[in-house]
Structure 1
């Protein structure tokens, strides 16, 4: 097994470099640090780290807590909150994301190591629990469709009828060719595992059915008459899949 890859998201460069140096000394693979929400998402998509260390206070309009929510929705990885601000309001916001670990600056090398190992262990344990648990709103999968629960009914949704799928907070929005929208609780990554091979992820928040792809633009695609964004990290693979020359 290779080294654990860790991404540091910290807008104070000196602190970020210090953390990366400590991580290297502890035997981890420290990726190049990033300073804000946007850079963090790009780094996660590109490098697929095993864990992220998130400073709550970040440069830009979105902070580390916003980033943590996005990681929970779209990426299968644990994270640690890192902050010098331990006021009650911040702690309450952070608690709602249920982080596997929380580290307050200043900290010792041993504290960082313990937090990382606990975060990895807690996250792994939570995955095992979620796999074995049976939830009320669990979707029922059959060969060519699945049933999605809404109130007291299970509604059948055929894969062939789905045009695109969108991540929205803790839900996945499923759009069909009948202009219907269904909601399924969970992450886009988990939902994508249910889909057949003709579905393609164009963006961290969108998956499309290639059978409904009408046109491709530099910034978006047209799917059954709807504009769906396409991220730069997905564009080349999409062009390859649809044989664009």
Structure 2
């Protein structure tokens, strides 16, 4: 399965590099980074790109909106704006380019991932010629509409999770922790993260893995992956996760903690 190729147009080098690093860690391929319209157009023409992440304020005579319009004239791909500009005039100009999302800075990597997945899904649906008004859930491809395939499949010591229209194999012991945010959960392994559209309770029920322990309304951890813990938090892969009061007693019972 080919990773989604992301092009970043951003004039703040540190912001662009941090975003690129986070996206690559999550399995995306950063096709290139540009800080001005001319460079962006040259890169876009020469490089396969699946989606654009564009800041409104960039170096040069052309801003991000004008640059995005020029790129989309060359080839249609989904477009997401990442910017600190939220005034009415800028928003109206941005609307003309029909972006999939408009994220205000400071944004979170989780929100960027959600926006990318939604944008890629909606773009794929539009390319399939889905009739207006017909809604296809995020985790289904148009071809899967009749079969209602699950986003998580369990097979012995593995699960297969739906990621960009393919099922990716994950060993249960490789799951480090799961984080919930709104209607999504992020499943974290040592080398990748997977964003799924379902609740934490639904994911734990489908995974059905005895070593997974709910420690907070937003977190569940693999007991075998814990590096250290106390009554307030656990550490997994150098990441500290809080223990909620509601889940503390049940969690500590696993260690005969008194």
Normalised by the length of structure 2, the TM-score is 0.49
Question: What is the match of residue 2 of structure 1?
Answer: 2
Question: What is the match of residue 45 of structure 1?
Answer: 45
The separation in 1 between residues aligned to 2:57 and 2:122, in whole angstroms, is 24
| Post-superposition offset of 1:128 | 2.6
Question: What is the match of residue 36 of structure 1?
Answer: 36
The separation in 2 between residues aligned to 1:88 and 1:129, in whole angstroms, is 32
Question: What is the match of residue 121 of structure 1?
Answer: 121
The separation in 2 between residues aligned to 1:61 and 1:26, in whole angstroms, is 33
| Post-superposition offset of 1:76 | 2.6
| Post-superposition offset of 1:127 | 2.2
* Gaps in structure 1 of 5+ consecutive residues: 134-245
| Post-superposition offset of 1:38 | 0.8
Cα RMSD, aligned residues only:
1.7
What does 1:122-201 correspond to in 2, within 5 Å?
Answer: 122-129=122-129
The separation in 2 between residues aligned to 1:125 and 1:70, in whole angstroms, is 24
The separation in 2 between residues aligned to 1:60 and 1:77, in whole angstroms, is 23
| Post-superposition offset of 1:23 | 0.6
The separation in 1 between residues aligned to 2:109 and 2:56, in whole angstroms, is 20
Q: SS of 1:82's equivalent?
A: strand
Q: SS of 2:102's equivalent?
A: strand
The separation in 1 between residues aligned to 2:26 and 2:84, in whole angstroms, is 22
Q: SS of 2:34's equivalent?
A: coil
- Which aligned segments of 4 or more residues in structure 1 are displaced greater than 6 angstroms? none
Q: SS of 1:114's equivalent?
A: helix
Residues 91-128 of structure 1 show CA distances to partners (whole Å, capped at 9, x for unaligned) of 11111211111111111111010011111112222223
| Post-superposition offset of 1:43 | 0.9
The separation in 1 between residues aligned to 2:65 and 2:10, in whole angstroms, is 13
Residues 192-221 of structure 1 show CA distances to partners (whole Å, capped at 9, x for unaligned) of xxxxxxxxxxxxxxxxxxxxxxxxxxxxxx
| Post-superposition offset of 1:4 | 0.8
1:91 aligns with 2:76: no
Normalised by the length of structure 1, the TM-score is 0.51
Q: SS of 1:94's equivalent?
A: helix
Question: What is the match of residue 106 of structure 1?
Answer: 106
The separation in 2 between residues aligned to 1:2 and 1:129, in whole angstroms, is 23
The separation in 1 between residues aligned to 2:46 and 2:74, in whole angstroms, is 14
* Gaps in structure 2 of 5+ consecutive residues: 133-258
- On the 8 A contact 2:6/2:32 being kept in 1, the answer is no
Question: What is the match of residue 148 of structure 1?
Answer: none
